[in-house]
Amino acid sequence: MLLKLLNQVEKPKFIVISDSLDVTGTTLFQSFVTTRCKKTVVHVFLFETHPKDFLTSLKSTNHENIIIYDFYTDPLNWDDGENTISKSFVFSKTIENHACHTDQFIVAIDGVGMYLNNHPANQLYQDLQRLKQNPQLEQCILLIHSDEINQGVKKSIEHLSNAVLNLRHPRNNVMVCKTIFKKPNGKMLQFYEEIKIASDFQVSAMKWSLPNHNEPCEPIPPPSDEPSVVSDLSFNLKLSNDEKKQRGKLVMPYTQAKLAVKMEEKTSGEIIYELDDVDDYDEEDPDDDLDF
């Protein structure tokens, strides 16, 4: 799943990478930027690394498509720096001010801790929403540090996102990424993958199974062809196809009775008796020879 996100097979609008002190997400963040900058313009907001370091670590990739906003050198405007987190700083406006874009672009944000120190979280959410609604924005990638920000804020940011990548570190040299991907129809998919990032930012991912977690219930083996009760009998309980057809043709006794009832109703209750062979029916009335 992670590879699908990297290769843009799946394109969620808003990806959040959440890391911690144990496991750093900067390499994954950089690999996202490298894959994206091959095709589209990427606006990178750097709060935690110097632009030069960032660009050198990206080494061989094409730097033409990367536009960097440096908020590392002088964020609070102590030295009359260019980019500062002033009260009116807003991600979306900064991008709008930057001319020369008619195409799609991608926004990558290095970290929100510095922003949240100077602005209420409310402003961040609304700003991200405004970014999302910009029709030219293809994707927004946000790196957050889970131990730096308030849990409530982290939950809210994850609520706003379309895909969340949680990085964990169960053992040495093992980086596991838990991807929660929200499909546009609302369904939520969850994946656990062990990832390795090479020095040229190629990512390889393998499925990782949680060791201590109880295995989800195995699919029930399909019931054997015959239920065990019937298999050992000396007589046959099954019907062949012909027998089934004949069973279908059989007329039920009550249906005959129904017809008979219908017939009787028509003839108003008379009893019709037809003489058998054995019956001896005398037409004469035996009371005829009585003389009173």
Binding mask 213-252 for other proteins (x = CB under 8 A): x--xxx-x--x----x--------xx-------------x
Q: Is residue 125 involved in binding other proteins (CB under 8 A)?
A: yes
User: What's the closest the beta carbon of residue 181 comes to other proteins, in angstroms?
Assistant: 10
C-alpha closest to that of 37 among 127, 126, 104? 104
Binding mask 150-189 for other proteins (x = CB under 8 A): --xx-xxx-xx---------------------x---xxx-
Q: How far apart are CA 36 and CA 64, in angstroms?
A: 12
Which residues lie closer than 8 Å to 92 by C-beta, 6 or more apart?
A: 127, 130, 131, 134
Q: Is residue 262 involved in binding other proteins (CB under 8 A)?
A: no
Q: Which is nearer to other proteins, 222 or 269 (CB)?
A: 222
Q: Is residue 87 involved in binding other proteins (CB under 8 A)?
A: no
**Per this entry, what is the length of the chain?**
292
Q: Which helix (H) or strand (E) holds 258?
A: helix 253-266
Provide the 3-class DSSP secondary structure of residue 245.
helix
C-alpha closest to that of 69 among 99, 30, 40, 95? 95
Q: How far apart are CA 128 and CA 228, in angstroms?
A: 62
HEC string for 103-158 = CCEEEEECCCHHHHHHCCHHHHHHHHHHHHHCCCEEEEEEEEECCCCCHHHHHHHH
Question: Per the structure block, which two tokens stand in for 86?
Answer: 């002033």
Q: Is residue 133 involved in binding other proteins (CB under 8 A)?
A: yes
Q: Is residue 204 involved in binding other proteins (CB under 8 A)?
A: no
Q: How far apart are CA 141 and CA 257, in angstroms?
A: 78
* Total interface residues for other proteins by CB under 8 A: 30
Q: Which is nearer to other proteins, 77 or 129 (CB)?
A: 129
Sole binder of other proteins in the list 121, 168, 178, 194 (CB under 8 A): 121
User: What's the closest the beta carbon of residue 191 comes to other proteins, in angstroms?
Assistant: 11
Q: Which window, 17-25, 97-105, 136-144, 148-156, contacts other proteins (CB under 8 A)?
A: 148-156
Q: Which is nearer to other proteins, 11 or 244 (CB)?
A: 244
Q: Which is nearer to other proteins, 159 or 266 (CB)?
A: 159
Q: Which is nearer to other proteins, 133 or 256 (CB)?
A: 133
Q: How far apart are CA 101 and CA 104, in angstroms?
A: 8
Where on the chain is the footprint of other proteins (CB under 8 A)? Answer: 120-122, 125-126, 129-130, 133, 152-153, 155-157, 159-160, 182, 186-188, 190, 213, 216-218, 220, 223, 228, 237-238, 252
